[in-house]
Structure 1
Amino acid sequence: MIALTKDPIDLGSAYKFLQADGAGAIDLFLGVVRDNTSARSVDRLEYEAYDRMAISEMQKIVDEAHRRWPILRCLVIHRTGLLRIGEMAVLIGVSTPHRADAFEATRYIIDTIKQTVPIWKKEVFSDGEVWVNATP
């Protein structure tokens, strides 16, 4: 399952989706909005995406992860729009028979998304704003 959404991410539903009888491990990565960056106080984040291309690129990443690891189920949900401090911006979930594979696949997915998927993040401060992590 791969999705972009403006709605809050439902962690309980994600966990249920990832459950599989053969899974000995479910690894979840939750990216949350923190209150600071580079010693500056962050008020909020704003995410924008080229939706169709972002979904397509995330699918390619998940497909590659399936080739590399024995993934039983995989979930990628990324928020767009305005996010407040403490809100979940991204959830990556992977279930595998063993924990090492789940850890490695999850890290591969989030790291590759950050490098290649057309999702842009604007950090908003009390005294300005800046776009960061701009990808192709």
Structure 2
Amino acid sequence: MGELEDEPRDLIKVTFEKLSIDEVAESIKSPSCGAVSLFMGTTRNHFEGKKVVQLEYEAYIPMAEAEIKKICRNIRNQWPTVQHISVHHRLGLVNVTEASVIIAISSPHRNESLEAVKYCIDTLKATVPIWKKEIYENEEYTWKENKECQWAKDNQK
């Protein structure tokens, strides 16, 4: 890959397909970067004493993608050395241990990519309109919103 072919990229995918950490990690490699930082959020098997069997995510994809693009722009403003950003979020049913979100960011040095990944997941949870339903073993379920979710807080005012 030549230097000219390595222009910074923002790779965003909101999909019903299973997520692949290998695909995300490969997509952001760069010859100019010594750091690739990854975050993978998975479905856990419990919440507040209830056994979770799966999660279900819903979103209006164009709106979710637009909000993720804003996050990418903010990352590039705050950490200008970031090279590539990849954010994949799953929709539909996500079983225990499966990935619901994978974020990867490459940069020349580790501090920028590590800080940018943390900012990205925190901001995604606070601003991107993706809804999560927790489904429990007794077939009960609860629609959840992230505690950080700014748009839900705004609607309660």
Q: TM-score, normalised by structure 1?
A: 0.96
1:18 equivalent among 19, 23, 28: 28
Give the C-alpha shift of residue 104 in structure 1: 0.4
| Greater fraction of residues in strand | 1
* Runs of 4+ more than 4 Å apart: none
1:1-136 → structure 2 map (5 Å cutoff): 1-69=11-79, 70-127=81-138, 128-133=140-145, 135=149, 136=151
User: Distance in 1 between the 2:106 and 2:99 partners?
Assistant: 20
Q: Supply the AA of the counterpart residue of 2:36.
A: I
User: Distance in 2 between the 1:12 and 1:84 partners?
Assistant: 19
User: Distance in 1 between the 2:145 and 2:75 partners?
Assistant: 22
Moved more, 126-135 or 14-23: 126-135
Are the aligned partners of 2:36 and 2:104 in contact in 1 as well (CA < 8 Å)? yes
**Matched residue SS, 1:75:** strand
Give the C-alpha shift of residue 126 in structure 1: 2.2
Larger radius of gyration: 2
Q: What is the CA deviation profile of residues 25-63 of structure 1, one whole-angstrom value per residue up to 9, with x for unaligned ones?
A: 100000011101112110110000111110000000011
Are the aligned partners of 2:40 and 2:101 in contact in 1 as well (CA < 8 Å)? yes
Where do 5+ consecutive residues of structure 2 fail to align? 1-10, 152-157
Q: Supply the AA of the counterpart residue of 1:85.
A: V
User: What fraction of aligned residue pairs are identical, expressed as a percent?
Assistant: 36
**Matched residue SS, 1:92:** strand
Q: TM-score, normalised by structure 2?
A: 0.84
- Count of matched residue positions in the alignment of Structure 1 and Structure 2: 136
Q: What is the CA deviation profile of residues 69-101 of structure 1, one whole-angstrom value per residue up to 9, with x for unaligned ones?
A: 121000000000001001000000000111111
